[in-house]
């Protein structure tokens, strides 16, 4: 399943490159909400950020396909044994979004595959601890959002990501992220204009 999704993402991205429509960069803030049956009320999300690239491929007058690759950080804070701890994650996210566009405004939805890069815990007497083995190397999510892009290529978008399945490597532990993402982007048209 993982290999199939990665293959489809790469195939669609190569198709986008060949069409030479437009390429872009984007960045923004993550506002994560850790959820799950094993997440206590003392656990609070820690704001992170993301940055990466995107391709925009018109499919028809009002529909676009937009694959993205993003580096993303997020985490959570909690109290344990009288001390304050925080867990920080960094992921590489692959997204395949479909957008409906009208007069610059758009709505979008699509799947997201996250590849875990780092997972570290800070706090207590141990300082910073590598806990990557405690979490799955792949995380699946689903995105839905809205945005606006000007003719100049500048854009803004608000997106909500829903975690699908626990990110913990322990089958008996249910932990996932639902994340609100607010960002800006800039696209550059690669299609050669006809003379």
What is residue 91's three-state secondary structure?
strand
Q: For residue 193, tell me if it sits in a domain.
A: no
Domains in the chain: how many in total?
1
* pLDDT > 70? residue 18: no
CATH label of the domain that carries residue 91 = 2.40.160.20
What's the pLDDT score for residue 191? 67
> What predicted TM-score, i.e. pTM, was given to this entire model?
0.84
Q: For residue 195, tell me if it sits in a domain.
A: no
Q: For residue 157, tell me if it sits in a domain.
A: yes
Q: Are strands 44-46 and 154-164 parallel, antiparallel or unpaired?
A: unpaired
What's the pLDDT score for residue 83? 75
Least confident of 22-31, 71-80, 142-151: 71-80
Token representation of residue 176: 């996932």
* pLDDT > 70? residue 7: no
* pLDDT > 80? residue 190: no
The dihedral sign for the CA sequence 78, 81, 84, 88: negative
| Mean pLDDT (whole number) for 149-158 | 96
For residues 15 and 3, give the distance between their C-alpha atoms in angstroms, rounded to a whole number: 18
Domain of 53? 2-188
State percent of the chain over pLDDT 70.
85
Q: Which of 112, 130, 131 is nearest to 50 (CA)?
A: 112
């Amino acid at each position: 399943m993982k290999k199939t999704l990665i293959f489809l993402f790469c195939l669609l991205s190569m198709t986008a490159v060949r069409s030479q429509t437009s390429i872009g960069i984007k960045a923004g803030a993550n506002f994560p909400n850790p959820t799950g049956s094993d997440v206590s009320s003392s656990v609070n999300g820690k704001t992170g950020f993301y940055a990466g690239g995107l391709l925009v491929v018109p499919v028809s007058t009002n529909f676009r396909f937009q694959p993205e690759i993003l580096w993303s950080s997020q985490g959570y804070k909690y109290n344990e044994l009288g001390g304050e701890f925080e867990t920080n994650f960094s992921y590489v996210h692959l997204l395949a979004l479909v957008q409906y566009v009208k007069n610059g405004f758009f709505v979008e939805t699509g799947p997201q595959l996250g590849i875990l890069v780092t997972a570290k815990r800070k706090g207590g007497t141990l300082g910073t601890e590598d806990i990557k083995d405690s979490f799955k190397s792949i995380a699946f999510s689903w995105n839905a959002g809205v945005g606006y892009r000007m003719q100049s290529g500048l854009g803004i978008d608000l997106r909500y990501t829903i975690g699908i399945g626990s990110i913990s490597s322990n089958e008996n532990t249910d932990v996932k992220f639902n994340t609100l993402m607010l960002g800006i982007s800039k696209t550059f048209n690669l299609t050669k204009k006809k003379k």
